[in-house]
Amino acid sequence: MYLTREEERMLDGEYGEGVRKFMELLVKLGDIYGAERMIPVGSAQIAGISYKNIGDPGLEFLEEVSTDARVRVPSFMNPAGMDLDRWKELGIPEDFAEKQKRVVEALKRMGVVPTLTCTPYLAGLLPRFGEHIAWAESSAVIYANSILGARTNREGGPSALAAAVTGRTPYYGLHLDENRQPTIGFDIKAPISGEYGFSVLAYTITKKVKKGIPYFRGIRGSADELKVFGATLAAFGGIALFHAEGITPERVEPPREFIEIDKEELKEVKEEIREEYRDVDVVVLGCPHASIPQLKRLKELLGDRVFRVPVWVFVAYPIKEALERSGLKDELEERNVKILSDMCAVVAPLDVLGIKTAVTNSGKMFRYLPATNGVKTYLDSLEHIVEVLAE
Amino acid sequence: MRLKGRVIVEGSVEGEVLFTDYPITFYGGVDMKTGRIIQTDHPLRGEIISGKILVFPYGVGSTVGSYVIYGLKKYGKAPKAMILREIDTVVATGAVLAGIPTVDKIDIEKLRNAKRVKIKDGVVEVLE
């Protein structure tokens, strides 16, 4: 692979052992994927933060590299396994909390911002159209590629960190025009709305396409709806980029043929997924992390009602701050809704908290919560969750 | 017999072969503190990979597997080298971070009965 003089210097160890090792990693990955050169990145987003996931091997690695490697570009952390302020309240064990904090501290030493969110674009890190970035979180990757028009492959924890430290990523995959063309078309002949509606649509799509690049006609949705849509496409189908007419800023040729998805088909899928529930251990919202409009809507739906079971809403830390200042956080907490930052139920040690059943409005949560935590999980619309569980 | 592959991590080593035609899941499948394969459905379950030249088709499973390979090295339990049919991102990342000599694009079936091999510049030579 061709390297610039600066990149050669990194590889030769002129910037220290940490940078050398990370540059070597990028060169090897570039060789494996056939990259001809490196491309500078505007930002990095680093996954593999939760101690539940990375365990002692990850913690030890991060502590070691944090002694000399520093990030060169703005870099954010993915969610951890707990709220850094409220972990005690949730019943997270002390030893887990201690190790989780060490992971965050190690990355902080390297200069990674401890936003701990899967929605960096809502928390102060917004790439522009056409910008090359190295992000790891699958829902943020598909959002950046499809809604913002930035360009990123789905990075792993170490490769995203390597991009953060070197400011480069190998130039292959979704960084290149030729790999961003749609592979299959869908004409959506039904009105879709809400996180649940978009989750069901995404789930339906992934039964027909995996790892491809879908092109959609007939979709209209808010940024928050599209956020859940992309997250679910990524979770069930490993999709990292879609094109939606009138939404995706990038111009591409539409595919010749389109598969139609109508109301009937979506109704059948809803029936297939639907299961009755009366009570659950917890309601999990904010997957991906919720925005302020989503929290406002929850408050409006609830009115004066209070949830019978605990509700967790995951948000990015800056959003939690804004909710606190606006008074919305207190109003929701009085209704049994906890606003939690820094974390995600998927990567939290729910097993030790005794959580066995949950309901969510997010297709991504519905996909991963049973797999990572053995939790029986229901997928439902926010309106219906409020109907069933608030009084 | 000599087999030419692709160098992932350079290194000239010679050692005893541990062969499997079954993919290895490092995260949850290999104990980094003992070097033992603990993956329940693996034919090599219970075997120690430390100090061996590990021959396997490719890695599978969570990306945390890279950190497990790194951890094996740190605890002195890493394989001496790795030979694969087709490398994957998880194993490649682990091999580079840990600095374990690694070669891929090798027809590993030909190493099924090999006892000792030597690796140099991407060439695997069967010694016995």
Task: Per residue of chain A (391 residues), give pLDDT as tens.
Answer: 999 999 999 999 999 999 999 999 999 999 999 999 999 999 999 999 999 989 998 999 999 999 999 999 999 999 999 999 999 999 999 999 999 999 999 999 999 999 999 999 999 999 999 999 999 999 999 999 999 999 999 998 999 999 999 999 999 999 999 999 999 999 999 999 999 999 999 999 999 988 799 999 999 999 999 999 999 999 999 999 999 999 999 999 999 999 999 999 999 999 999 999 989 999 999 999 999 999 999 999 999 999 999 999 999 999 999 999 999 999 999 999 999 999 999 999 998 899 999 999 999 999 999 988 899 999 999 999 999 999 9
The domain spans of chain B are 2-126
Q: Are strands B36-37 and B30-31 parallel, antiparallel or unpaired?
A: antiparallel
pLDDT at B62 over 80: no
SS3 (DSSP) at B72: helix
Our CA-based measurement puts residue A54 at a distance from the nearest CA of chain B, in whole angstroms, of 6
Looking at residue B109, what DSSP letter applies?
A: G
Res A293: pLDDT: 97
The span from the CA of A242 to the CA of A221, in Å, is: 14
Q: Do B70 and A57 touch (CB under 8 A)?
A: yes
The domain spans of chain A are 5-177, 181-273, 282-389
The one-letter amino acid code at A185 reads: G
The span from the CA of A59 to the CA of A53, in Å, is: 10
8 A C-beta contact, residue A87 and residue A46: no
CATH code, B2-126:
3.50.30.10
Res A211: pLDDT: 79
Classify the C-alpha dihedral A300-A306-A308-A309 as positive or negative: positive
Q: Can you tell me the mean pLDDT for B79-100?
A: 94
Q: Do A61 and B92 touch (CB under 8 A)?
A: no
Our CA-based measurement puts residue B128 at a distance from the nearest CA of chain A, in whole angstroms, of 31
Q: Do A156 and B93 touch (CB under 8 A)?
A: yes
Q: Do B32 and A29 touch (CB under 8 A)?
A: no
Run of H or E including B116: strand B116-120
The reply to whether A5-177 and A282-389 are identical in fold is yes
8 A C-beta contact, residue A360 and residue A283: yes
B26 and chain A in contact, CB less than 8 A: no
Res B115: pLDDT: 97
Our CA-based measurement puts residue A64 at a distance from the nearest CA of chain B, in whole angstroms, of 11
Question: Could you report the predicted ipTM of this complex, rounded to two decimals?
Answer: 0.79
Res A373: pLDDT: 87
Cβ atoms < 10 Å from Cβ of A233: 30
B25 and chain A in contact, CB less than 8 A: no
**Residue from A267, A290, A305 nearest A360 by CA:** A290
**B66 belongs to the catalytic site:** no
8 A C-beta contact, residue A386 and residue A301: yes
Q: Do A156 and B66 touch (CB under 8 A)?
A: yes
Q: Are strands B2-4 and B123-126 parallel, antiparallel or unpaired?
A: antiparallel
Instruction: Look at domain A282-389 and name its CATH class.
Output: alpha beta
The span from the CA of A25 to the CA of A17, in Å, is: 12
8 A C-beta contact, residue A26 and residue A166: yes
**Residue from A188, A375, A379 nearest A271 by CA:** A379
Residues 6+ apart with CB under 8 A from B107: B3, B85
Interface residue ranges in chain A relative to chain B, Cβ cutoff 8 Å: 21, 24-25, 28-29, 32, 47-48, 53-58, 60-61, 64, 156-159
Q: Is the peptide bond before A288 cis (omega within 30 degrees of 0)?
A: yes
CATH code, A5-177:
3.30.499
pTM recorded for the entire structure = 0.92
Instruction: Encode pLDDT of A55-109 as tens digits.
Output: 998 999 999 999 999 999 999 999 999 999 999 999 999 999 999 999 999 999 9
Residue to test with chain B: of A1, A26, A32, most B Cβ within 10 A = A32
SS3 (DSSP) at B118: strand
**Which residues on A lie below 8 Å from B34 (Cβ)?**
none
Res B27: pLDDT: 84
